[in-house]
Amino acid sequence: MLYQLGVIFFLALLLMACVRRIAVKLALVDKPSARKQHQGHIPLSGGIAIYLSVVLFSLWQPDGIPHMATYLCCVTGLAAAGRAGRPF
C-alpha cells in the first residue's frame, strides 16, 4: 500500500507543474484582495492534480488499492461538488 501511495504522490507532483501552468493561462487563480492577504496570484489547481493522479493510477493498476471503484466514485462526487461550488 505504501508503494501505491508513493506513486500517487509523485504523480501528483508531476501533474501539479502541468496543471499549474494551465490554471494560470485560464485565469483559475485566487487574486489578492482586502480579505485575502497573500501576495500574487495563487493557482486553484491542486485538487485537480491530486484527482487526476488517483484516476491515472487506477487506470494503470486497477487492483492497486482495495475498493478502488468505491473510492473513485466518492472522489468523483467530491470533485463535482467542488466544481459546482466555484462561481467560474
pLDDT at 88 over 70: no
pTM for the whole thing?
0.75
User: Which pLDDT score, from 0 to 100, does residue 86 have?
Assistant: 67
pLDDT at 10 over 90: yes
Rounded to whole angstroms, the Cα distance separating 69 from 78 reads 14
Answer for the pair 48, 26: CB distance below 8 angstroms, yes or no. Answer: no
Beta-bridge partners for 29: 43
